[in-house]
Amino acid sequence: MNNKYQNGFFLFGMAVLIIMVTQLDFTQVWNGLCHAGYWSVAVIAIWVFLYVFNTFSWYIIINAGGRTKVSFWWLYKITISGFALNYATPGGLMGGEPYRIMSLSPIIGTERASSSVILFAMTHIFSHFWFWTISIVLYLVLYPVGTFMTTLLGAISIFCLLGLWFFIAGYRKGLAVRTMNVLRHIPFAKGWAKRFVTRHQQQLDTIDSQIASLHKQNTRTFVTAVLSELTCRICSAAEIYFVLRVLMPQANYADCILILAFTSLFANLLFFIPLQLGGREGGFLMSVAGLGMKASDGAFVALIIRLRELIWTGIGLLLIKAGKSGPRNSC
Q: Which domain holds residue 265?
A: 3-320
Residue 329 lies in a domain: no
- The per-residue pLDDT for 67 is 79
Tell me the C-alpha to C-alpha distance, in Å, between residue 145 and each of 10, 105, 120, 283: 47, 50, 36, 19
- 262-297: string of b/e by CB count within 10 Å (b at 16+)? bbbbbbbeeeeebbbeebbbbbbbbbbebbebeeeb
- The per-residue pLDDT for 279 is 58
| 160 touches 132 (CB < 8 A) | yes
Residue 299 lies in a domain: yes
Neighbour count for residue 41 (Cβ, 10 Å): 12
Beta-carbon-side half-sphere exposure of residue 275 (alpha carbons within 13 Å): 26
Residue 328 lies in a domain: no
Mean pLDDT by 10 residues, the chain (331 residues): 73 78 77 82 94 96 83 94 83 71 88 84 91 94 87 92 86 72 66 75 76 72 92 95 84 89 79 54 66 72 86 92 59 50
Tell me the C-alpha to C-alpha distance, in Å, between residue 120 and each of 54, 62, 146: 9, 9, 38
Rounded to whole angstroms, the Cα distance separating 230 from 144 reads 26
Rounded to whole angstroms, the Cα distance separating 298 from 294 reads 7
Residue 325 lies in a domain: no
Residue 331 lies in a domain: no
Burial of 207 (0-12, 13-18, 19+ CB in 10 A): buried
Residue 12 lies in a domain: yes
pTM of the model: 0.83
- The per-residue pLDDT for 330 is 47
Residue 326 lies in a domain: no
Helices H / strands E in the chain, number of each: 14, 0
Q: How many domains does the chain divide into?
A: 1
Burial of 252 (0-12, 13-18, 19+ CB in 10 A): exposed
- The per-residue pLDDT for 227 is 95
Helix, strand or coil, per DSSP, at residue 185: coil
Neighbour count for residue 260 (Cβ, 10 Å): 25
Residue 330 lies in a domain: no
